[in-house]
């Protein structure tokens, strides 16, 4: 049975491994967001070169979130934020998860099997946040703690936030490697033959359908 969990950040490995697919979570504490492919590539470059990251990611919660921000007097204000599609980062995330021992990654759309394997090894979960709930997520922001890589456009920067009850997020992939996305994909593929058969039957039954029908007027 799915549970509702109130989680304090940073997460411990024990916290993470106690979560199960389908659990709903609310996050309170500090986490890091970015929506940028160039940003994640820069993270990888730092890891490959052995250079320290400007915002510590070890054991962190890293969310694929973008949105709208404004900057005044050198300070960044996140006006609203919303999840971006995590699958864009599939090729990058196994290295980031393993090297930084991430405890949680989040966004929308899930991550692939290679990412799930990395999560299984390190003790990390994927949190799914539905798009279109920007007001809920934005209202959870309490403080912009740090902003780095200011040469990038605003929503590509690496940003650390302090949040209170950010959510609800759903555990889409747990630390045992179980994935809600795999189940949905399998269910969709199982239904496909029946759907195609019904479409063929509907076409055959329609006026002008079947082998003797004409292509069009």
Dmax (CA) for the chain in angstroms is 73
Range of the domain at 9: 4-205
Q: From CA 64, how far away is CA 96, in angstroms rounded?
A: 13
pTM exceeding 0.85? no
Residue 18 is assigned to a structural domain of this protein: yes
Is pLDDT above 50 for 216?
no
Q: Report d(CA 9, CA 65) in Å as an integer.
A: 17
Q: Is 175 in contact with 121 (CB distance < 8 Å)?
A: no
If DSSP codes are grouped into helix, strand and coil, which group holds residue 199? helix
In a domain, 98, yes or no: yes
- Single out the residue of 161, 156, 137 nearest to residue 32, CA to CA: 161
The answer, yes or no, to whether the previous bond of 39 is cis (omega within 30 of 0) is: no
Average pLDDT of the residues in 68-89: 90
pLDDT at 109: 94
Q: Can you tell me the distance from the alpha carbon of 32 to that of 9, in angstroms, rounded to the nearest whole number?
A: 11
| pLDDT at residue 147 is higher than 90 | yes
Residue 116 lies in a domain: yes
157: domain CATH number? 3.20.130.10
Task: State how many domains the chain has.
Answer: 1
């Amino acid at each position: 049975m799915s549970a509702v969990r109130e989680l304090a950040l940073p997460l411990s490995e024990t916290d993470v491994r106690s979560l199960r697919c389908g659990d709903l979570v609310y996050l309170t504490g500090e986490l890091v967001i970015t929506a940028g492919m160039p940003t994640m590539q820069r993270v990888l470059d730092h890891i490959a070169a052995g250079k320290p990251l400007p915002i510590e990611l070890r054991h962190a919660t890293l969310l694929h979130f973008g949105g709208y921000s404004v900057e005044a007097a050198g300070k960044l204000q996140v006006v609203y934020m919303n999840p971006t599609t995590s699958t864009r980062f599939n090729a990058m995330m196994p290295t980031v998860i393993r090297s930084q021992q991430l405890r949680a990654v989040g966004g929308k759309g899930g991550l692939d099997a290679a990412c799930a394997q990395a999560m299984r090894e390190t003790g990390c979960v994927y949190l799914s946040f539905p798009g279109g709930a920007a007001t809920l997520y934005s209202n959870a922001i309490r403080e912009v703690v740090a902003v780095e890589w200011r040469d990038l456009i605003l929503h590509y920067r690496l940003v650390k936030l302090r949040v209170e009850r950010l959510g609800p997020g759903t555990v889409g992939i747990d630390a045992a490697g179980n994935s809600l996305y795999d189940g949905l994909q399998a269910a969709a593929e199982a239904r496909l033959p029946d759907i195609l058969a019904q479409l063929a039957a509907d076409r055959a039954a329609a006026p002008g359908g079947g082998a003797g029908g004409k292509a069009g007027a």
